[in-house]
């Protein structure tokens, strides 16, 4: 009998720049070493294709409609990915965590997924000194049964 690998939804803004790909790959390598499979929204080819097609529309009104439709499609794909995953790992680096990443984490927590955060950024961006994140984001991670990691090597699910 084969043991089921946990599926991790990797929420992150790391696909907006190709320069972040090595960082994203290091996270996925860690998850693979832990025996997890990864749902990475940035690897959903149909999403990328729809967004690219929408952005290439030249007519202003038609382009806006195409972008809205691509956004709805992307949201639906990500929601299915979250529902089909066992846990959520959100990359929360930056002066403020990415709004889309926080939305994915909140959605995951809201549907009962255990959520984890990775914040390698040494700056605090919380509401209070010494709190590394917005208190609600940290609360939802911890309330879900997860925790915040400060290094890729610390990730344990």
55 Cβ neighbours under 8 A, 6+ residues apart? 63, 67
Whole-model pTM: value is 0.93
Using CA atoms, how far residue 117 sits from 26, 52, 102, in Å, is 15, 29, 10
Whether the CB-CB separation of 102 and 110 falls below 8 Å is answered with: no
- The structural domains of the chain, with segments of one domain joined by +, span 7-154
Confidence label for 99 from pLDDT (cuts 50, 70 and 90): very high
- The predicted-structure confidence for 36-52, as pLDDT tens digits, reads as follows 999 999 999 999 999 99
Grouping H, G, I as helix, E, B as strand and the rest as coil, residue 136 is helix
Whether the CB-CB separation of 39 and 85 falls below 8 Å is answered with: yes
- The predicted-structure confidence for 100-156, as pLDDT tens digits, reads as follows 999 999 999 999 999 999 999 999 888 888 889 999 999 999 999 999 999 999 999
Inform me whether the pLDDT recorded for 1 exceeds 90. no
Q: What is the pLDDT of residue 128?
A: 87
Work out the average pLDDT over 7-33. Answer: 97
Please tell me the distance from the alpha carbon of residue 60 to that of residue 79, in angstroms, as a whole number: 28
Closest CA to 104 of 96, 116, 120: 116
Which of the following CATH numbers is that of domain 7-154: 3.40.50.450, 3.20.20.10, 2.40.30.10, 3.40.50.720?
Answer: 3.40.50.450
């Amino acid at each position: 009998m084969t043991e089921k690998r946990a599926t991790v939804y990797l929420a992150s803004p790391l696909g907006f720049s190709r320069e972040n790909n090595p960082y994203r790959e290091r996270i996925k390598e860690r998850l693979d070493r832990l025996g997890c499979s990864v749902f990475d929204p940035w690897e959903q080819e149909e999403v990328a294709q729809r967004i690219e097609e929408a952005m290439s529309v030249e007519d202003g009104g038609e382009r806006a409609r195409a972008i809205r439709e691509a956004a709805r499609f992307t949201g639906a794909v990500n929601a299915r990915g979250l529902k089909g995953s066992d846990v959520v790992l959100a990359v929360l680096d930056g002066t403020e965590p990415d709004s889309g990443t926080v939305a994915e984490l909140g959605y995951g927590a809201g549907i009962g997924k255990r959520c984890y955060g990775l914040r390698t950024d040494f700056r605090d961006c919380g509401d209070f000194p010494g709190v590394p994140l917005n208190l609600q984001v940290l609360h939802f991670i911890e309330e879900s049964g997860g925790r915040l990691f400060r290094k890729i090597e610390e990730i344990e699910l």
